[in-house]
Amino acid sequence: MILLLASTITDYFCGLKMENTTVKFKKLYLLLSLTINLGMLFVFKYLTFFTSSVNDLFTFFGLEISDQETAGSYNFNKILLPIGISFYTFQTLSYTIDIYRGKIKPEKHFGIFALYVAFFPQLVAGPIERASRLIPQLKQKLQTNIINIKKGLILVAWGYFLKVVVADRLGVYVDMAFSDPDSPHGLSLILGAFFFCFQIYFDFSAYTSIAIGIAKIIGIELMQNFDRPFFAVTVRDFWQRWHISFMTWLKDYLYTSIGGSKGSRLKTLRNIFILFFIVGLWHGANWTFVLWGILNAILLILEIGTSSFRSKLFKKMGLKKRVIELIGWAFGVSYMVTTLVFFRSPSIEHAMIYLKNMFQFKSLHVNILGNYFELFLCLALIIAVQTVHYFKGNDKIYELVINQAKYKRWSLYLGYVFIIVLFAINRQNTFIYFQF
């Protein structure tokens, strides 16, 4: 709460000061905002990672550094990651940067601005909202809207289903697979990595649905964070559909600031590499996340660099557009399954062992849970949810219910309760993105 208040006061003050001052002082106030916000983020999220990495580097060159020398008398491992810091830091920074760029005027009402920073449905894990979109809504008098309340409750219920029935169920298998990377059963490890792709997607989109639903109930519209990412047919397409609020934030405030796609092809590829290095690092203070980001950068760079060659090749082969998209989809899913092994693993060594044994087909054993019903239920749930998302997207789920006749609606409600009672996984798991 202290950090949240410090960030709020800092950006409220800097925003007001930037309104009527010279360009020089505008830059100073922007620098103050960046320093305080990113400084807090660095200390509480990355300081331990930074000090241990420096220590490992010195050790690699044969220079042993004691804890006393690197950290004084304080153990940085005692620092806890404050809840939501990555999300509200980016949200408040977008506010000061937009004021600096002249896109918005500073908010003079401290309570409204504080509510923008700490709006509770999306505070912990997004979506990361812009001031130009959310603050005007917070100033409006709220009107009771029964239709929006119904839509919001359905989105909340859908998110709850995705979390406790689907994502947590997949998590049981994923935890089992990743706890034994030395397993000789390659198919079970492949299935574990495949399930993790959908676990993290359903888990995160569940939180987003709940956040958007709660906001809708009280008359606030939040932006969508997902657009059926696992139906993407290219890597670029995937990243335009996944964690949309975060990726557009990086595009608007980082990618364009370092040059974006303007300039030479080489500079564009360099900027993409920097962008995804930050994407990886933002997700966690571990080299596994950094490597995951770099691998995605490399694939996107290869996709852009070979686009003209592939177009000529496919044209020469006479492949139809639908076939090309199917190939792109299959390759993209396969690549995500492989690279997310680094995202899920506690260390690079663990990930390398896991990847190595993924392709050891000494047996066709996949049932590491000892329960074929649960295994097939996981697959059936993935297919069912993806089918719903294919037809209704991530944002129109309520259309499956709200336009039905009354007896059909109540049948669906009772069926939902029955499914939750019967199939919910009671593991008391937090949302995966709470750790970021």
Catalytic residues: 283
CA distance 13 to 108: 10
Question: What residue type is assigned to position 379 of the chain?
Answer: L
- C-alpha separations of 374 from 135, 378, 419 in Å: 45, 6, 14
Query: For residue 170, which of 200, 190, 204 has the smallest C-alpha distance?
Result: 200
CA distance 19 to 107: 10
Helices 186-217 & 168-178, crossing angle to 10 degrees? 150
Query: In the 8-state DSSP scheme, what is residue 220?
Result: -
The residues with which 361 forms a beta bridge, in sequence order, are: 185
Query: Is the distance from CB of 398 to CB of 388 less than 8 angstroms?
Result: no
Query: For residue 111, which of 184, 222, 5, 262 has the smallest C-alpha distance?
Result: 5
CB-based contacts of 273: which residues, under 8 Å, 6+ apart? 294, 297, 301
CA distance 133 to 244: 15
Long-range contacts of 272-275 (CB under 8 A, 24+ apart): 272/297, 272/300, 272/301, 272/304, 273/297, 273/301, 275/250, 275/251
For 187, half-sphere exposure in the C-beta direction (CA atoms, 13 angstrom radius) is: 8
- C-alpha separations of 253 from 222, 265, 294 in Å: 20, 20, 20
The residues with which 185 forms a beta bridge, in sequence order, are: 361
Question: What residue type is assigned to position 358 of the chain?
Answer: M
- C-alpha separations of 322 from 238, 314, 327, 328 in Å: 17, 12, 9, 10
Query: Is the distance from CB of 163 to CB of 202 less than 8 angstroms?
Result: yes
Which position has the token pair 């295994």? Answer: 375
Burial of 358 (0-12, 13-18, 19+ CB in 10 A): buried
CA distance 265 to 277: 18
CB-based contacts of 63: which residues, under 8 Å, 6+ apart? none
